[in-house]
Amino acid sequence: MSEKYQLPNLSKSRTVVNSATRSIVRVGGIAVIGAIVLIMAYLFWVVIPMLLPASVSLDHQFDLSTEGVLHVSSDDSFEVISLINADGSVVCHDAEDMSILDEIEVSPSHFKTVKPLYPLANTFVALTELDTLVFFQIVHRVRFLNEIRTIENQVDVLFDDSFIDVGSINDFDAFRSDEKLRVVLLNIDGSIDLHEYLNVDDAYELEEPKSTTIDAWSPSPRNVEIMIGPLGRWLFEIDVTNGDYRLINVASTRRTSVEQVGSFRLENSSFQFAEPVLGRYSFLVADDQGRVDHWILGPIGANQGLRMVRTFDYPKPIKKIILEHRRKGFLAVDHSGRGFIGHTTSAAKKRTVVSLEKVPRLIAFSPRADRLIAIHDDSIDIFRVNNKHPETSWTTLWGKVDYEGYKESAFTWQSSSADVEFEPKFSLMPLLFGSIKAAFYAMLVATPIAILGAIYTAMFMSPQMRKLIKPGIEIMAALPTVILGFIAGLWLAPLIEKHLTAIMLLLLIPPLGVLLFAYLTTLLPSRIRASLDGWFGALTVPLLVLLGWLTLANNEWFASLIFQGHGDAKTWLYEVLGVDYDQRNALIIGIAMGLAVIPIIFSIAEDAIYGVPQHLVHGSLALGATRWQTLVRVVLLTASPGIFSAIMIGMGRAVGETMIVLMATGNTPIMDFNLFQGMRTFAANIAVEMPESEVGSTHFRILFLTAFVLFLITFLLNTVAEVVRQRLRARYGNL
């Protein structure tokens, strides 16, 4: 008879504790991974809209005779569409159903031409059949009457209802700044009159202008268009028949000068028209073969001039190009009525096609570029445009880009400006470069000090001293980096700038002093030496302080000795090496961030070295190896996985470190590896710009993209570090 033997069951409480512990650990582990994945997913989620293509869809189509409509505009929130008619009136329609809200007479005489008063919104200048210029502004005021929201539409004729008599002209343009109004008139004979009105106020009549005349240029002035350029300082004359143009500097009315004479014409096609992009720093030039060239205004040699920087190719000839009001975006319409949405800076990206059926007589973007209003002879079509982030493409983020006003293509980060017509420059390269530069110089300082310190502490220091030093350095890691950055930026940077010569000599004098000291100790009687063994490190501290102080105190003496005739190191750098010295530069970062990174590298490396088994050390020593040979051939080899991960973790920290670089780099997004120049890192850039960024804007999403890239870089660094460490451990690990 066999009796089945049974193990006693685990007691109930032990089972409960066992399974509870297991689930808690599991939940914790999964939560950590989940949190990281979530962070990454969230960053990417914010970035996604930038990657989506634009879309355009027909919203409303109203059958309506549009005879006599000269210009169309709408209010900011797209509730009112205003049509400016040739009969001198403005008719405001409800954007929802095109019902007429208001009909306002601006001028008793008919309009021949209407142009926007550059660079203002909803403000126009009209040439009447009496050859006068009338300035008026369409105003949409939101009112709450009995708590009902209503929009009051109104047209204000500027300058106390006055007008300018211009006589018979071919073309005109006007520019308005705070207190100045400039009007240019192209006379029948081709000469140009420039009138500048000062002390301008909307409510008062204009004073007598200062006037000047520019000589005729084109033999056929009838074909010439004139246009005032950026900030009212430039005047473009374009011959619409052949694309020849003249650029005149009119910054001063007293002395105008021709800056450039050129042509938009291409060799194998004929010029059609040129349309200025927002801000008028650049032109989109269409030919008869479907090609649109982008010409920008920028320095050419000593002068300013237009040069072609990029080309958009379309399947069919482009008949019309209209511009967005607040971005460098545009819509190009070909002769079959197909519209292409584009953006000058980001070039070829997101080419969305919309069918307008035929080329509209008039077409305009709404101020927010979320609607398109196409005016045909017998209908008004309204399209909904979803094109939130046209400014970015792979090239604008990572490549060299030709920006308006630049001499050549460049990597530039300049996300915002006070100027509304500003072209945002979103190249991530300067930031990536800055991050790498900051990390490089920090590691250059931190790695040797931390690793050598770790070797000394683990191998040569007396155990009592090690007990003080190790936690001491580890506590340094707890030092808030904002304090380090503060000290580096406000105390260290000026100090180093003032004592540059001495600071450079610090690399030479104290180490030589220590070597001399080390040599002198070998002359001590062996009895004293033995009693001091392991404490020499402590003895060098006062020596280093003394030598450092002496070097700094004698800065001027050293400077006059080394840089004879140049004054000091800063001047010498500039005069001899041509290096500009920034007060907040990579040297400061190397020192300050190096200091922040040292404790991490030191601590991990020291643990690794100290953890090398004594039996290996003894094995080596017993074979007749010296301490140095043992260190190099056995200890460092065995500790190499740990030392390697120490360096990589330090590097990850240096790449992501924010406060120090924020406070001590000057945050200049330049690409110069020079030790004495500043930089801007990804992390600092996010800290600087995120509070100023409009939520949901392209800038906002790009900041998230930089965070994502930063995350990827540190993730990659850590992964590489871990893989290499594992391989090293498989090879050299002995534990």
Partner 1 sequence: MELPDSDISLNVVNLSLSYADKPALQNITMKIPKQRVTALIGPSGCGKSTLIRCFNRMNDLIDSVSVTGRIELNKLDIHDKNVDVAQLRRQVGMVFQRPNPFPKSIEENVAYGLRLTKEVPKSELESRVEWALKSAALWDEVKDRLKDTALGLSGGQQQRLVIARAIAVQPSVLLLDEPASALDPISTLKIEELIAELKTQYTIAIVTHNMQQAARVSDFTAFLYLGELIEFNNTRTIFTNPRQEKTEDYVSGRYG
Applying CB under 8 A, the residues found at the interface with partner 1 are 463, 613, 615-616, 618-626, 629, 633-634, 637-638, 731-734
Nearest 5°: CA angle at 303, between 300 and 308?
35
For partner 1, which is the closer residue by CB, 7 or 730? 730
User: Strand, helix or coil at 32?
Assistant: helix
Closest approach of partner 1 to the CB of residue 521, in Å? 18
CA 282/CA 294 separation, integer angstroms: 7
Closest approach of partner 1 to the CB of residue 457, in Å? 16
Closest approach of partner 1 to the CB of residue 622, in Å? 4
Is the Cβ–Cβ distance between 118 and 174 less than 8 Å? yes
DSSP letters, 339-404, are EEEEESTTTTS--EEEE-SS--SEEEE-TTSSEEEEE-SSEEEEEEEE-S-TT--HHHHHS-B--T
**What are the residue ranges of helices labelled H in 9-110?**
12-51
Q: At what angle do helices 536-553 and 509-522 cross, to 10 degrees?
A: 140
For partner 1, which is the closer residue by CB, 317 or 733? 733
Closest approach of partner 1 to the CB of residue 633, in Å? 7
Closest approach of partner 1 to the CB of residue 530, in Å? 10
For partner 1, which is the closer residue by CB, 417 or 626? 626
Closest approach of partner 1 to the CB of residue 733, in Å? 7
**What are the residue ranges of helices labelled H in 525-677?**
526-532, 536-553, 555-562, 569-572, 586-610, 614-622, 627-630, 636-656, 659-664
Is the Cβ–Cβ distance between 691 and 33 less than 8 Å? no
Rg (CA), the chain: 36
Residues pairing with 151 in the sheet:
142
For partner 1, which is the closer residue by CB, 22 or 731? 731
CA 400/CA 430 separation, integer angstroms: 11
For partner 1, which is the closer residue by CB, 9 or 614? 614
Closest approach of partner 1 to the CB of residue 638, in Å? 6
For partner 1, which is the closer residue by CB, 68 or 613? 613
Closest approach of partner 1 to the CB of residue 541, in Å? 22
DSSP letters, 710-727, are HHHHHHHHHHHHHHHHHH
User: Strand, helix or coil at 294?
Assistant: strand
For partner 1, which is the closer residue by CB, 66 or 645? 645
Instruction: Read off φ and ψ for residue 565, nearest 5 degrees.
Output: 80, -10
Closest approach of partner 1 to the CB of residue 520, in Å? 20
For partner 1, which is the closer residue by CB, 203 or 622? 622
CA 667/CA 678 separation, integer angstroms: 7
The CA-atom distances, in angstroms, between 151 and each of 94, 382, 593 are: 10, 20, 57
CA 475/CA 463 separation, integer angstroms: 19
Closest approach of partner 1 to the CB of residue 519, in Å? 20
DSSP-assigned letter for residue 732:
H
For partner 1, which is the closer residue by CB, 58 or 616? 616
For partner 1, which is the closer residue by CB, 233 or 729? 729
